[in-house]
C-alpha cells in the first residue's frame, strides 16, 4: 500500500505543475487581451464562456477522472458497454390524419430502418376530445393522428406486432385513457401486457408549466399518474409509465439550466407522490424515463445530459433511499429542437438537426428523434422524414462516434460546463423549495413567469442581432418560392372519423358502456386504482371523450389561474 510519505513527492509535483500552468495562463491572458478578438461569448443560457479552459478550471473537482460508464453517479453513461453494446433507438415521431394513414407511415418508417415507433396525436386527442366533438372542428388530424377509441388504436397498429416493437406515445392530459386503448389493442392481438415495451409521456406537471394540454386539476391528475405507476409495476413491468419531459419546457423558452432543474424537480415530485402512496421507490422508479430537448449550443447540451444523470442518481440514492441501480440510472429519449427550425431557408434545418443529433449521441441518449427540415412549415413529408432518419443512420454507421463511450469526458470545457450546470440546477432547486415545491410554484405562476422571462430575453437578443440565426437575421436572401414539397391535410380525415364514430356508437353494446362508465365514476370518487376501470371502458369501446367526461364529473376541469 502506498503511504502518505510516498505520495508527497507526487502531490508536490502536481502542485508545481499547476503553479507553472497558472503562470502560463496569466501570460496567455495578457497576449490574448492584446489581440483582435470577438466580444464576450455566452451560451444559449446567457452564461459567459471563457476563450480557454485548462486543468485550473477543475481545481477542487475531479471531473470524471475517476468514473467509468455504468457506475454511480453515471455521469459518463448508464451502460458499461455504451453504444458498443446497443445503438440508441431511432424513434421517429409521426402521426397525421387518420389511423389508417398513420399506420401506412409507420410501416414505411419500419421498412426504412426505424427501430421504434413514436405516436404524434392531433390536438383534439391531446385535449381528450373525440373527433366529432364541436371543439375538434378544424383540427382533426392536422398536427397528429386522430384517436377517439380502441377501434382507432387497433387500426393504428394493424399489421404491426405490438409484442415486437417499442412504442412511445406523446400524450399527457388524457394519457391514462390512451394507454388503456393501447393495452386493450395489445390484448386484441393476443400479446400479454407483461411483454409490452414502450413509454407514455404522461408528464402533467410540465403541461401546467409550459405546454397547456391538460384535462383535470393538478391533484386528481397526479393521482392518475400514481395509479399508472402502481398498475404498470405489477402488470406492464417493461413499460415506462411517465417520461418526464424537459422538451416542452425548453421549447416554451426556458434556458438549458432551467430545463434541467424544472424537469428534475417534476421528477422528484412524482417520486414523492409514489412514496406517499405507499409504493416502494425501487418498485416504480426503474420505469421513470426522461425526455430532453437538444438545442443549438452544442457543448452546453452535452453537459446538460451528463449533469442530468449525475443529479438524478445522487438525489435518488441520498434523498429518496433508492437502493436498486435501476432506480438510480436516468434513461432518456432526446429530440432535436423544433423551436430552432426556421421557415426561412428550410434546407439549413438539415444541418441544424445533424449537429443537434450529434450532441444527443455524445451526451449518451438511449433514444433519438431527428426533426424533419419542413416541420416548421407543415407535418413532414415522407422524403423529409427519410432524410431525418438517414441523418441518424449516417451518425450511427459512418462517423465512428458510437465506438467510444463519453468521448468528450475529460475535456476541460465539458467537465467545467457539467459542473456549472449541476451547480445552477441545485441553486434552482433551492428557489423551487422556497416557493413551497413544484405544485405551489405552478399555482402562483412562478415557473410560468421564469420561462416567459427567458423566452422574452432570447427573442430580444435575436431582434437586437446579439444572437445570429442563419437565414433569419443573418445571411438572408430574397424570398423565393419554397424548394421543398409540403404535406397538406384536408378535411377528409374529419369526415371519415365522424362517420366511423357514428358506426361505432351504433354497433357497440351501449348498456355495457354505460355500466363501465358508471363503475369508473364510482372508483374515481373513492381511492381504488382506476386503471382497471378505464381499461374495461376501453374494451367495450367507450370513446375518449366519454371516459374523460366521466372522470371530469368527479374531478372537475382544470382552469388556469390568471397571473398579473
* pLDDT at residue 16, rounded to an integer: 85
Q: What is the mean pLDDT of residues 412-429?
A: 97
Whole-number Cα distances in Å, 529 to 84, 176, 447, 546: 41, 12, 30, 19
pLDDT band at 176 (very low <50, low <70, confident <90, very high): very high
Q: Is the pLDDT of residue 530 over 80?
A: yes
Cell matching residue 39 = 466580444
Q: Is the pLDDT of residue 127 over 60?
A: yes
Half-sphere exposure of 316 (CA within 13 A, CB side): 29
Q: What are phi and psi of 170, to 5 degrees?
A: -90, 90
**The CATH number of domain 87-409 is 3.10.450.50:** no
Please say whether the beta carbons of 210 and 246 come within 8 A.
no
Q: What is the mean pLDDT of residues 536-540?
A: 98
Name the average pLDDT for the chain: 93
pLDDT band at 33 (very low <50, low <70, confident <90, very high): confident
Whole-model pTM: value is 0.92
* pLDDT at residue 478, rounded to an integer: 81
pLDDT band at 359 (very low <50, low <70, confident <90, very high): very high
pLDDT band at 116 (very low <50, low <70, confident <90, very high): confident
Counting residues of the chain whose pLDDT is more than 70, the rounded percentage is: 97
* pLDDT at residue 487, rounded to an integer: 77
Please say whether the beta carbons of 332 and 288 come within 8 A.
no
Q: Is the pLDDT of residue 4 over 50?
A: no
* CA 171/CA 121 separation, integer angstroms: 7
Q: What is the mean pLDDT of residues 293-305?
A: 97
489 Cβ partners below 8 Å, 6+ apart? 96, 97, 141, 142, 379
| SS3 at position 1 | coil
| pLDDT tens profile 422-453 | 999 999 999 999 999 999 999 999 999 999 99
- Helices 531-539 and 510-525: crossing angle, nearest 10°? 170
* pLDDT at residue 1, rounded to an integer: 45
Half-sphere exposure of 120 (CA within 13 A, CB side): 21
Of residues 64, 19, 53, 24, the one with CA closest to residue 412: 53
**Distance of alpha carbon 118 from the chain centroid:** 12
pLDDT band at 481 (very low <50, low <70, confident <90, very high): low
* pLDDT at residue 237, rounded to an integer: 96
| SS3 at position 528 | coil
Of residues 236, 243, 166, the one with CA closest to residue 200: 243
* pLDDT at residue 47, rounded to an integer: 87
* pLDDT at residue 483, rounded to an integer: 67
Of 112-121, 142-151, 528-537, give the lowest mean pLDDT range. Answer: 112-121
* pLDDT at residue 44, rounded to an integer: 83
Of 486 and 264, more confident: 264
Give the dihedral sign, CA 314/319/323/324.
negative
Tally of residues, the chain: 564
* pLDDT at residue 10, rounded to an integer: 74
Of 322 and 213, more confident: 322
- For cell 434513461, the residue is 331
Amino acid at each position: 500500500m502506498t503511504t502518505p510519505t510516498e505520495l508527497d513527492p507526487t502531490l508536490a509535483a502536481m502542485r508545481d505543475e499547476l503553479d507553472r500552468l497558472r503562470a502560463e495562463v496569466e501570460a496567455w491572458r495578457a497576449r490574448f487581451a492584446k489581440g483582435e478578438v470577438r466580444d464576450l461569448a455566452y451560451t444559449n443560457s446567457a452564461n459567459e464562456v471563457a476563450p480557454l479552459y485548462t486543468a485550473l478550471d477543475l481545481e477542487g473537482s475531479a471531473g470524471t477522472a475517476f468514473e467509468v460508464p455504468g457506475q454511480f453517479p453515471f455521469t459518463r453513461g448508464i451502460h458499461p458497454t455504451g453504444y458498443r453494446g446497443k445503438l440508441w433507438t431511432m424513434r421517429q415521431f409521426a402521426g397525421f390524419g387518420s389511423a389508417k394513414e398513420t399506420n401506412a407511415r409507420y410501416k414505411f418508417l419500419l421498412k426504412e430502418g426505424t427501430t421504434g415507433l413514436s405516436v404524434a396525436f392531433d390536438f383534439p386527442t391531446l385535449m381528450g376530445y373525440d373527433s366529432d366533438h364541436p371543439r375538434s372542428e378544424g383540427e382533426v388530424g392536422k398536427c397528429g393522428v386522430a384517436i377517439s377509441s380502441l377501434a382507432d388504436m387497433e387500426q393504428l397498429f394493424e399489421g404491426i406486432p405490438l409484442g415486437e416493437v417499442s412504442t412511445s406515445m406523446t400524450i399527457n392530459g388524457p394519457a391514462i385513457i390512451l394507454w388503456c386503448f393501447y393495452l386493450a389493442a395489445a390484448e386484441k392481438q393476443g400479446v400479454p401486457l407483461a411483454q409490452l415495451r414502450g413509454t407514455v409521456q404522461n408528464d402533467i406537471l410540465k403541461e401546467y408549466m409550459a405546454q397547456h394540454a391538460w384535462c383535470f386539476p393538478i391533484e386528481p391528475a397526479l393521482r392518475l399518474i400514481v395509479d399508472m405507476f402502481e398498475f404498470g409495476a405489477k402488470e406492464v413491468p417493461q413499460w415506462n409509465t411517465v417520461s418526464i419531459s424537459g422538451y416542452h419546457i425548453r421549447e416554451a423558452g426556458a434556458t438549458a439550466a432551467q430545463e434541467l432543474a424544472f424537469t428534475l424537480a417534476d421528477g422528484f415530485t412524482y417520486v414523492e407522490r409514489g412514496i406517499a402512496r405507499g409504493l416502494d421507490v425501487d418498485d416504480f422508479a426503474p420505469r421513470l424515463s426522461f425526455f430532453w430537448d437538444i438545442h443549438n449550443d452544442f457543448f452546453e447540451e452535452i453537459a446538460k445530459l451528463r449533469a442530468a444523470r449525475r443529479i438524478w442518481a445522487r438525489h435518488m440514492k441520498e434523498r429518496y433511499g433508492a437502493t436498486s441501480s435501476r432506480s438510480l440510472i436516468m434513461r432518456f429519449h432526446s429530440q432535436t429542437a423544433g423551436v430552432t427550425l426556421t421557415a426561412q431557408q428550410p434546407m439549413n434545418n438539415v444541418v441544424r438537426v445533424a449537429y443537434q443529433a450529434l450532441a444527443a449521441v455524445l451526451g449518451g441518449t438511449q433514444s433519438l428523434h431527428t426533426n424533419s427540415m419542413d416541420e416548421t412549415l407543415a407535418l413532414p413529408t415522407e422524403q423529409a422524414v427519410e432524410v431525418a432518419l438517414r441523418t441518424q443512420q449516417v451518425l450511427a454507421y459512418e462517423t465512428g462516434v458510437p465506438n467510444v463511450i463519453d468521448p468528450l469526458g475529460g475535456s476541460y470545457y465539458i467537465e467545467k460546463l457539467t459542473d456549472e450546470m449541476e451547480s445552477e440546477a441545485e441553486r434552482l432547486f433551492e428557489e423551487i423549495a422556497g416557493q413551497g415545491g413544484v405544485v405551489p410554484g405552478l399555482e402562483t405562476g412562478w415557473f410560468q413567469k421564469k420561462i416567459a422571462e427567458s423566452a422574452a430575453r432570447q427573442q430580444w437578443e435575436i431582434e437586437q442581432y446579439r444572437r445570429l440565426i442563419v437565414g433569419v437575421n443573418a445571411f438572408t436572401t430574397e424570398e423565393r418560392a419554397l424548394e421543398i414539397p409540403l404535406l397538406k391535410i384536408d378535411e377528409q380525415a374529419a369526415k371519415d372519423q365522424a362517420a366511423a364514430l357514428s358506426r361505432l356508437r351504433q354497433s357497440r353494446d351501449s348498456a355495457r358502456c354505460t355500466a363501465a362508465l358508471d363503475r369508473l365514476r364510482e372508483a374515481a370518487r373513492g381511492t381504488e386504482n382506476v386503471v382497471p376501470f378505464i381499461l374495461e371502458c376501453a374494451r367495450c369501446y367507450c370513446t375518449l371523450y366519454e371516459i374523460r367526461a366521466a372522470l371530469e364529473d368527479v374531478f372537475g376541469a382544470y382552469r388556469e389561474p390568471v397571473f398579473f
